[in-house]
Amino acid sequence: MCSGAESKLYPKYMAKNKTVSLVLSSGGARGLAHVGVIEELERRGYAIGEIAGCSAGALVGGMYAAGKLPEFKDWICNLDRVDVFSLMDFTFSSRGFIKGEKVYQALKKVVPDQNIENLPIRFSCNAVDVNSGKEHVFSQGSLYKAIRASGSIPSVFLPAQIDKRNFIDGGVLNPVPISLISDPHSTLVVVVNTNSLAEHFLPPPRKKSIQKQSMNLPGWLMDYQNKMKAYFPEEENKVQQKRYSALELVTRSFDLLQDRYCQLLLENYPVEVEIKVSSNQAGTLEFHRAAELIEVGRIKACEALDRLEHGN
């Protein structure tokens, strides 16, 4: 059952399906649920032999493949709303309003960069080449360059520039990159979809938190803060009807297309286990809710794995 207690596993099933190929979808801050899923898989004795990630899934998957998930979790869970905001290097570019470099520079101090081909676990992630319009798979080279390219959300982050090529979020073409798994027939394929339907929403537990003192922002930053309301929705406004700005409409459209595309991809690639996290679970940039989202991932993984192991 879905509790902290050890689950009763079926030895015959585990002997046959001990190794997992893990597919981690895009989803912005919701992708932090991937951390909870990985922890639950490990707790139950599954061995993750390969990871394919997209956007936020590339970030979490890359940290795990590098053997640094505990360090990443400790870092991200200690960021509040002000910390997250301070890691956003704003720009006046029409291609996006966040450069997307500052946060990775901060993370590199916790988890140093390394080459993907040297990671102890097979890892790959995807991005989209802006000029060709084709999916590009990163399976070697700098881990952070790959993650930065995979998570370059259109209209939010500037495209990532690598070797004179511009890349945007892999979720544009392949938000659930099952196709990146090298041999899906030899392992148990587990897919974590954080762009699932509203019916899979899990009410988060209400916890009191100590907020840092508010900071005084210059006028131009206040303008960006207003734009970012789509990504940091206020709790009391989340269930109310709202009028969308042009930027919000673009982002909302991207989210809806991604949600639908995820469903279509999963219909074409039958998998043994799909762990579903609602696209309404958190805003795109609500990384200050890390601990809550990790717990959501753990609960969702527990439910899905119980069904698998108990034959329900």
* 169 labelled catalytic: yes
CA–CA distance from 142 to each of 26, 122, 123, 139, 202 (Å)? 20, 14, 12, 9, 36
55 is an active site residue: yes
| CB contact at 8 A, 22 and 275 | no
Residue 54 dihedral angles phi and psi, to the nearest 5°: -135, 130
DSSP 39-107: HHHHHTT-EEEEEEEETHHHHHHHHHHTT-HHHHHHHHHT--HHHHHHT--B---TT-SB---HHHHHH
Strands 165-169 and 160-162: antiparallel
Nearest-10 Cα torsion for 257, 143, 98, 231: 50
Instruction: Please work out, in degrees rounded to the nearest 5, the angle formed at the alpha carbon of residue 194 by the alpha carbons of 292 and 178.
Output: 140
Give the number of other Cβ atoms within 10 Å of residue 44's Cβ.
16
Instruction: Write out the E strands in 112-241.
Output: 122-129, 135-138, 160-162, 165-169, 188-196
* C-beta separation of 158 from 152 below 8 A: yes
Q: Which of 55, 196, 278, 279 is catalytic?
A: 55
The catalytically annotated residue of 169, 196, 255, 259 is 169
C-alpha distances (whole Å) from 250 to each of 134, 156, 161, 230, 247 are: 21, 10, 22, 11, 5
Burial class of residue 80 in the structure, from the number of CB atoms within 10 Å of its CB (0-12 exposed, 13-18 middle, 19+ buried): middle
Buried b (16+ CB within 10 A) or exposed e, 272-284: ebbbbbbbbbbbb
What are the residue numbers of the active site?
55, 169
